[in-house]
Homo-oligomer: A and B are copies of this chain.
Amino acid sequence: MCEANAYLTKQGSEELILESIMILRPEGDRIYLQNIFGEQKWIKGRIKEMNLVEHRIVLEEVQSASL
């Protein structure tokens, strides 16, 4: 199977947030993820890097500009 796992980097550490991702779609400042089991998540962040051979999608948090 060719899905990938998504990780979120936060202050240097990496957290697995969803496995076996089939669909990824950026929507404004969030990223919609759906896996082969039908689980869905919206992550506030952006794509840092994807490596499809290693089945890794690395996301990073977006720092909101505060006024």
Contacts and interface: CB of A to CB of B under 8 A. Distances in A.
Indicate how many identical chains form the complex. Answer: 2
Contact of A46 (B4, B26, B51, B53): B26
Given A2-B2, A2-B55, A55-B2, A47 B47 contact: yes
A38 to B, nearest CB: 13
A19 to B, nearest CB: 12
15 contacts: A2-B52, A3-B53, A4-B52, A21-B52, A22-B53, A23-B51, A24-B50, A24-B52, A25-B48, A25-B49, A26-B46, A26-B47, A36-B53, A47-B47, A52-B52
Interface of A: 2-4, 21-26, 36, 46-53, 55
